[in-house]
A and B are shown apart, each in its own frame.
Chain A
């Protein structure tokens, strides 16, 4: 006799993903002048001047962004619950892909929290800091958030490969979306060249290393949530 899967709170947790993207986009991106970021060749005086003029907005943005950073992890755990049902088996929670999907989401939360605190530091007492130091904090935060891509790739690959293992005739998560996630995880590798460029396509504000990289990830979160919510309904009916 198989007992019914307890799906309480799954939906709530799954909604945390799109919520995270929306809050992060506005607070970190717009209020924090990170969407798009200052080009690396922007003079230190310009970056510092902007932080001094907009310190309140940046502080508000970063405080809210840090508060909502765990939402990404919560979402990742909900996805891992759906993944358990996709991989099946006796103890799906012990499946290494499920564990990697969880830990990838948890690590990603850290790689969002830590650099956000650097931007917050730059806005904390910008009058007391020299221009170059504000620029350094801004650079440091960007280098960390971009180069921590591999942590998120762990989650992307684990979810992708795991959802492909679904033996159902109609899988819980469509295979094309599983493949898309694997592709996104793979594309992140472009971030490796980001520290070499101060302008152009590969710079942190460039067409490839900013616009394409961030958008393909930000699209993946709500797309996967949409299908995860449908999958939860099916799991309840199975």
Chain B
């Protein structure tokens, strides 16, 4: 369909760095459960010490939190577009959308670095109080998810780029990987939205 695929043997051999399938949903489900426990712990703590939680919440930078949310939502929209173009068999479009997902998403790392450094410069750290313990641990674990997500995006981009260079067509395995990677990326997105609401927005007292 899309010209000859001379080195088709390369598929599956070199590109299957991370083999994938629907089992990724087990990871996502287990992770959601872990975050559910995090949220529960936070809620219990907030009920016990509403004034402390409210005072600490007001020290967070709402604008940066909102910027983070918009960054991830925009990046998530490009990811969804990548899945759509991949299903339509549009290799170039998929590559562009994945690159945009990565490019926009990377800004989240920058913004998080700015936010955390500001906290450390104000003498606020992991053990300042219970609110900030949860803030740093939960956003830290989320950040780790984000970094892994960037790695997944890079693998997807390399895979689609190779298909593009060879002039090949989108294959089933690549499509499955883009969808699985997309599901993961949306989880990163979703978890942040819940974290944002819980840490930055909800008034405790």
Contacts and interface: CB of A to CB of B under 8 A. Distances in A.
Contacts of B31: 183
Contacts, number: 54
Given A183-B31, A201-B41, A164 B21 contact: yes
- Would you list the 10 A-B pairs with minimal beta carbon distance, nearest first? A175-B23, A176-B26, A179-B26, A179-B27, A164-B19, A179-B23, A183-B30, A165-B19, A176-B23, A183-B27
Interface residues of B, number: 22
A180 B25 CA distance: 10
B41 A165 contact: no
Contacts of A63: none
Describe A's contact surface by its main secondary structure: helix
Q: How large is the interface on A (under 10, 10 to 19, 20 to 34, 35 or more residues)?
A: 20 to 34
A190 interface: yes
B130 A164 contact: no
Given A164-B19, A180-B30, A189 B24 contact: no
Describe B's contact surface by its main secondary structure: helix
B165 interface: no
Contact of A193 (B18, B23, B24, B137): B137
A226 B21 CA distance: 22
Interface of B: 16, 18-24, 26-27, 30-31, 34, 37, 41, 126-127, 130, 133, 137, 141, 144
B27 A208 contact: no
28 contacts: A161-B19, A164-B20, A164-B23, A165-B19, A175-B23, A175-B26, A176-B23, A178-B23, A179-B24, A179-B26, A179-B30, A180-B26, A180-B27, A182-B27, A183-B26, A189-B141, A189-B144, A190-B141, A196-B126, A197-B127, A202-B133, A202-B137, A207-B37, A207-B41, A208-B37, A208-B41, A212-B34, A212-B37
A187 B126 contact: no
A174 B25 CA distance: 13
A200 interface: yes
Contacts of A190: 137, 141
Nearest to B41: A201
